[in-house]
Structure formats: structure tokens, C-alpha cells
Structure 1
Amino acid sequence: MRKKAVFFDADGTVCDLEKGTPDSAVRAIEKLRENGHQAWLCTGRSRAFVPDYLEKVAFTGMITSCGATIEKDGKRIFDRQVTPQEARRSVEILRKYKMIPVMEGPDYMYYDKAEYNNSINWYADIITKTLGDKWKPIKGNEDSMFINKISAKITPQSDPDAACRELSAYFDFICHGGEGFAGDTIEMIPKGFSKAVGIAAVCRIFDIPWEDTVVFGDSNNDLAMFEYAATKVAMGNATPKILKLADYVTEDMFHYGIRNGLEHLGLI
């Protein structure tokens, strides 16, 4: 069999915010690598928000921040950052329209706990705990935030359409309207970037033929990579748009979805 490059989304695919990564997925990815295939994490999370339990998975490399950061074998080879001036302006615009900025970078995430807390998202304290010393407040760092993307949280008083219009020169947008881990969030990605762009860059850099690309995912920020890749595997918990694009639907991650999907493709 030709060797494949398999790209895995994180949340809802290989990990859960509270439960981590199931052992079955860890073992399946190890077996995938043993069989000579590549295994890439391809996540909307910023590099700073990749937790220890994902660091220990046998990934070939990581595409983070929806394609804005790429690393292989622990070495960062690409990092597209928003300028500190654009980051500050983005915070001002989001707050003007009653949205809550969570600024995501390769080394740190920035948010103010007074406005981003469990009353906004039930997992806010979990994120803070996971980040540890990789969390910084926006206050006091307004002019020194080095970020790749923003997760803007919607409140009942928000005007997200107006905010997006003002920020459209800087970002492309992925809307999560109450679905899954990122519900009621607008992800703001540097213009022209996506998970698909990250995968295409990896394929170009490392001479991976397009026909050997495989993706596993579950949520709407996986749409770009599902539209791009040769073979698409949706998790059992996937959104309708992802299910519609899938070549195969496996189980959810806690019912051996990664293992079963890789077995179905003959990769393990």
C-alpha cells in the first residue's frame, strides 16, 4: 500500500477537553506510524493550547491555528502572526460590539478573566488550568500580543456581523452557532489561511501526493480540509455538513472511532 499522510482534528476527533485522548486513539496512531504512514495533528487550537496529553501522541507534526503555524518533529517551520497593532485594534473592535476576545498565539493565549470566565463558557477555567504559564491577560499586554488567530465569544448583547465587517481586512471567519466545543464563537483566522492551506503547505514542503491525504474531523472548522483532502473520514459525532462530505463515517472517539476508521482504510 502507498504510504498515507493522515491529518487529525483535535477537539471531538482525537481529544475531549475534560477526558483527554482515549487510549484506543493513542495506540491506533502509534500503529499508524509503525506502519510507515504519517500522522499530523491539524487543529484550530493555537500551538500554546496543545496540552500535554496531545504532546505525547506520536504525531509526525502539528498544524495549529487553522494552518497559521506548522511544526514537524518538534521544530516550528512556519508561523503566520497578526501584528501586535492589528491584535490591539481587533480587541478594541470586538469590545465595541460587546464580544469577548480570546487571543491565541503560538506561545501564549491572552484573555481577561474578568470578562472570559465560566459564565461565558463552562470550560473557561479548564482552559486557564491547561494553559498554566502560557496564559497572559490582555490588560497590560495590549501592545505586545503575538497571536495567530482570535476566538471571539458572542454574548446576548453582541453585534457579530458589525464586528466581522470591521475586521474583514484582517481575517477570514468560521462561525460556530452553538454547536460543539466552540459553540457561540467566531474563529478569526488570518486572511487566506485554513486547515486546508496548512495541509497543502505540508504536502508541498514534504512532497506528499494529494491522493495520499486522509483527514479525520467532526466540526465546521474542518470543512476546508474535508473539501480539500482525497479521503475524508467523519467522526460519529460530526456536524451535518461534515457528514455530507465524508467518504466514511466512523464511530465517535470514545467508541474506537479513530481505530475503526484507520482499520477500515487498511492503514492499521
Structure 2
Amino acid sequence: MHKKAVFFDADGTICDIEKGTPASAVEAITKLVKNGHQAWLCTGRSRAFVPDYLEQIPFTGMISACGCTIEKDGKRLFNKEMTTEAAWHSVEVLRKYGMIPVMEGADWMYYDKDEYNTDINWYADLITKALGAKWRPVKGYEHDLHINKISSKIVPGSDPEKACAELEDYYEFIGHVGEGLAGDTIEMIPKGFSKAVGIAAVCRIFDIAHEDTIVFGDSNNDLSMFEYAKTKVAMGNAAPGIKKLADYVTTDIFHYGIKNGLEHLGLI
């Protein structure tokens, strides 16, 4: 068998914001790497929001912020940032239309706690705890926001359509409405970037054949990598659109989904 490069989404695929990563997934990915294959984290989370327990998994490398940041063996190879002017303009536009900006960067995440809290999303305090020193308020950093992407929260009375229309020259939009961890959110990614773009860049840099690419995912921001990769594995808890594109639907994250999927493919 050719050695494969397997790209894993994070939330809903190999981890849960409350429960972390199941031991079976850690063991399966570790065995995958020992068998000579590559294992890449490919997450919508910005690099600042990759928690310690994912750092302990022996990933070959990480693609974060939907393709905006790429690293291998702990070395950052690429990082696409919005200009600080565009970042602050985005905050102003989102607030104008009643939305709440969560600004995501490779080194910090920025949000104001009086604006983004557990009244908006139940896990807001968990994010703050996980970030530690990597959390910064927007207030005081208005003109010094170093971000890759934005998660803009939809709240009653907000007008996401108008906000997106005003910012469409800057971003691609991925809607998450009532979907798992993301809640009612519009993910805003710089034009021309996606998880698929990140995977394609890794394949080009490290001479990985398309036929050797495999992806595991569950949510709408995995659609691009499911459309790109040769082999697609959907988690049992995946969104319907992801399952429709999958070559194989494994069990859910806490019922040995990663282990079962890798075994099905004959990789472990």
C-alpha cells in the first residue's frame, strides 16, 4: 500500500470542547503514524485555539484557520493574516448589523467578554479558559488585530445578510445554523482560502499524490476538503451534506469513530 496522508478535522471529529479527545482516537492516530502514514490536523480553529491535548497527538503537521496557517514538525511555514485595517473594519461592520465578532488569529483570539459570553454561547467561558494568555479583548487592540478569520455570532435582531454583503470583497462565508459546537455562526475566511486549499498546499510542498489523500470530518467547514480529497470518511455524527459526499460513514466521535474508520481503510 502507498503511504497515505490523512487529514483530520478537530471539533466533532477528534475532539469535543468539553470532553477532549477520546483515548481511542489518540491511540488510533498514533498507530497510523507508526505504520508510516502521515496524520495532519486540518481544523477551522485558529492556531491559537489548538489546545494542549491536541498538541500531544503525534501529528505530522497542522493546517489551521481553514487553510490560513500551515506548520510541520512545530515550525510555522505559512500564515495568512488579514490587514489590521480590514480586521477592524470587519468588527465595525459586524457590530453595525448587530453581530458579535470573535476574531481568530494564529497567536491570539480577540473578543470582548461583555459582548461574547455564555448568554450568547454556552461554551464561551470554556474557550476563554482554554485560551489562557492567548485571549485578548478587542477593546484596546482595535488597530492591532492579528487575525486569520472570524467567527461572527448571529443573535436575535442581527442582520447577517447585510453584514456579509458589506464584507463580501474580503471573505468567503460558511454558515453554521444550529450545528453542533458552532451554534448560530457565520465563519468568515479570507477570499481564496479553505481547508481544501490548505491540503492542496501541503500536498504540493511535500509531494503527496492526490490519490493518497484521505479526510475525516463532520461539519460544513469540511465540505471543501471532502470535495477535494480522494477518500472521504464522515463521522457518524456528521452533517447530512458531509455524509452525502462520504465514501464511508464511520461511527461517532465517542464510539470509536476514528479507530473504526482507519481500520476500515486498512491503515491500522
Identity %, equivalent residues = 76
Q: Which runs of 5+ in 1 are unaligned?
A: none
1:110 has 2:110 as partner = yes
- 5+ unaligned residues in a row in structure 2: which ranges? none
Which residue pairs with 2:228 in the alignment? 228
User: Is the partner of 2:180 in helix, strand or coil?
Assistant: coil
In 2, the alpha carbon distance for the partners of 1:215 and 1:235 equals 11
Aligned residues: 268
Q: CA deviation at 1:126?
A: 0.1
Partner of 2:70: 70
Corresponding residue for residue 18 of structure 1:
18
Q: Quote how far apart the aligned CAs of 1:183 are.
A: 1.7
Give 3-state SS (helix, strand or coil) of 1:178's partner. strand
Aligned counterparts of 1:147 and 1:80: Cα–Cα separation in 2: 8
Q: What is the root-mean-square deviation in Å for CA atoms of aligned residues?
A: 0.4
Q: CA deviation at 1:79?
A: 0.3
TM-score normalised by length of structure 2: 1.00
1:57 aligns with 2:54: no
Q: Secondary structure, in 3 states, of the residue corresponding to 1:129?
A: helix
Q: CA deviation at 1:129?
A: 0.2
Secondary structure, counterpart of 2:152 in structure 1? strand
Shift of 1:241: 0.1
Counterparts of 1:74 and 1:193, CA distance in 2: 22
Quote the Cα distance in structure 2 between the aligned partners of 1:85 and 1:230.
38
Residues 136-175 of structure 1 mapped to structure 2, 5 A cutoff: 136-175=136-175
Q: Kindly provide the amino acid, as one letter, of the partner of residue 22 in structure 2.
A: P
- Deviating runs (4+, > 6 A) in structure 1? none
The within-5 A match list for 1:2-13 is 2-13=2-13
User: 1:1-268 counterparts in 2 under 5 A?
Assistant: 1-268=1-268
**What's the offset of the Cα at 1:253?**
1.4
Cα displacement string for residues 13-35 of structure 1 (whole angstroms, at most 9, x for unaligned residues): 00000000000000000000000
Q: Provide the C-alpha distance between the structure 1 equivalents of 2:253 and 2:133, rounded to a whole number of angstroms.
A: 29
Deviations 1:39-90 (A, max 9, x none): 0000000000000000001100000000000000000000000010000000
Counterpart-to-counterpart distance in 1, 2:183 and 2:205: 34
